Amino acid sequence: MCIRLITPISRPTVICSFPRIMALRQSSDMSKFKEVLKSAKEIVILSGAGISAESGIPTFRGAGGFWRKFQASALATPGAFKTSPSLVWEFYHYRREVASKAEPNAGHKAIAKYEAKYGKIKKITVITQNVDGLHGRAGSKNLIELHGNLFKTRCTKCNEVVTNLNNPICEALAGRGAPDENVAGSDIPEQALPHCRRHSCRALLRPHIVWFGENLDYEVLQRAEAAISTCDLCLVVGTSSIVYPAAMFAPQAADRGAIVAEFNIEPTPATPNFHFYFQGPCGTTLPVALSD
């Protein structure tokens, strides 16, 4: 399935009368949520850009979603990389630098702490749409990164995926990538960009990110769908619920009877389908929700 954006609609496409009734009755009752959490055996935590924004990671969405003069989403495509790999690498070098300087916030830490405490007696899966690696740095172990990771590369020829924490990832990118609107393009020659270290390959590397117009990795998607299909509790954390296929995960869980609790700054199109809704920063609500 391809990543795509949709225009928010007034009613979610998946409707379940049971979750809708429950949402009206106990939408922000923390004590009742904690009762559900205590009894839950399989928990999925689905996170999006909102939790990372609290750590200073740009969302690159909406009116402010620009890097230099470019719409960020226009650079996150196979076509952009084919046309100007140096420009795309400058963009991702900037994103890597921002992410490497950011720290996991109280929301990330609360999730990791809960997993560390209860992971042996409950099945706890963190599914994130974020690519900044903050969940992993916070300590989450059973982690599914749907859209890849800024600190991994993939060879355009042999497809080898490698973790790379070097900063800069290559010397040619040192001091590059600043979001300066006066810089129109990139003059870095392709041969100076990151290349595969395999002696039999040496092909150009790309960020290990699922770009717009690309399919999610099949095995990654299968793992996520398997977790969603058996969970009895799903936490929706800082996600706008407009990027598919992840936008369907929580509604699907609610539709089959799982309890869904949303933690967001503001309601989303899917909020009416969920049992609980807790408004506010994830770094404020999650530590309370996941504490004993």
Q: CA 54, CA 43: separation in Å to the nearest integer?
A: 23
* Residue list for the binding site for substrate: 92, 95
CB 244 within 8 A of CB 6: yes
CB 65 within 8 A of CB 180: no
Q: CA 223, CA 216: separation in Å to the nearest integer?
A: 12
* Residue list for the binding site: 48-67, 92, 95, 129-132, 155, 158, 196, 201, 238-240, 264-266, 282
Task: Collapse the DSSP code of 124 into the 3-class scheme (helix H, G, I; strand E, B; otherwise coil) and give the result.
Answer: strand
Q: How many CB atoms neighbour CB 64 within 10 A?
A: 9
CB 239 within 8 A of CB 48: yes
* Residue list for the binding site for NAD(+): 48-67, 129-132, 238-240, 264-266, 282
* Residue list for the binding site for Zn(2+): 155, 158, 196, 201
Length of the chain: 292
Q: Among 93, 135, 147, 208, which one carries the catalytic annotation?
A: 147
CB 192 within 8 A of CB 172: yes
Of 230, 57, 46, 244, residue with least CA distance to 145:
46
108 is catalytic: no
Which residues are part of the catalytic machinery?
147
